[in-house]
Structures are given as C-alpha cells and as structure tokens.
Structure 1
Amino acid sequence: MKDQLTFEQALQRVEEIVSTLERGNIPLEEAITLYEEGKRLLEFCRKKLEAAELKVKELIKDKEGYRLRELK
C-alpha cells in the first residue's frame, strides 16, 4: 500500500478485488493474494473511518455516565 493512499482509493481497489474474485476465473494463488490485499485494505479503511469518527464525536462524562456529543 502506498503511504498516500486515500480511503476512496482503497475502497475502489477493494471493489475491484471483489469483482475479480466473484468472476472466479483466476488461479488459486492469485485469488489468495487478492484476498489478502483486500483484507489489508479493509483494515486500512476501518482505521480511517474510526479516526474520522473520533474527529466528529467527543466522549462526555456527566452524572448519568458517558455519552457521545457531536463536535461543532
């Protein structure tokens, strides 16, 4: 993966990988390699989404416990 890879680029590549795997006309070793790449890209996307969520929400503690508040 490139250092400058964006969420959108990673997601697009995952979609390409899924499409290729669904066609099913590739050798097993290539399918395994693509599967592993897709798995790494999905983890990258998950981390990007989590980081974005943290930027948008803030954990607040009050007398009732913890709650999330949207940042403005």
Structure 2
Amino acid sequence: MAEEQSQISEMSFEQALRELEGVVRRLESGDVPLDESITLYERGEELRKACQSRLDAAQARIEKIVAGTDGKPAGTQPFDADGNA
C-alpha cells in the first residue's frame, strides 16, 4: 500500500483523476471478483483523497489573491464569496 501511495503522490491531478475514473468504470461494470473489487475500491479511495487534496490546495491559492478595482491585489476572500464557483 505504501508503494501505491507514493505512486499516487507522483501523479498529476489529471493522471489521478483518469485512473480514478477507470477504477469507477471497472467497479460499475460488475464483472470484477469480490476480492479485486475491494482492492479497486481501496485504490479508488486513495486516488479520490489525492484529487481532493489537490483541489483544496488549488482553491486555497485562488483565495489568496483578490484584485481591487485598480487591478492590484486588494486582499483575500473565498473563491465563491460572490456566488461564482
């Protein structure tokens, strides 16, 4: 498992998301034996956590800078504070 985690940490967000989508497709197919399904589910959960962590980090970076009316950074506010997502 530690080897898998290090591999996930080396993936880009896009690579991890693609693999997660593949895991979901395989699980949804219903053609996977129970033991393999459990292993796939565990891998999928690790990939989901990695993707969520990267999304959270990206949102935190976005929240750091908010431009004022003059175009210069004026402070911080949450990314979706004015209703934009």
TM-score, normalisation: structure 1? 0.77
**Segments of 4+ moved more than 2 angstroms:** none
Q: Could you give the per-residue CA deviations for residues 14-56 of structure 1, whole angstroms, max 9, x where no partner exists?
A: 1100110111111100000000100010000000001111111
Relative to its length, the structure with more strand (as a share) is: 1
1:26 match: secondary structure? coil
Q: Give the counterpart of 1:39 among 38, 45, 49.
A: 45
Determine the C-alpha separation between the residues in 1 that align with 2:41 and 2:19: 12
Structure of greater relative contact order (alpha carbons < 8 Å, 6+ residues apart): 1
Counterpart for residue 35 of structure 2: 29
Structure 2: tracts of 5 or more residues without a match:
66-75, 80-85
Cα 1:32–1:55 change in 2 (3 A) is same
Superposition CA RMSD, Å: 2.0
How high is the sequence identity, in percent, across the aligned residues? Answer: 38
Structure 1: tracts of 5 or more residues without a match:
60-66
* Number of aligned positions between the proteins: 63
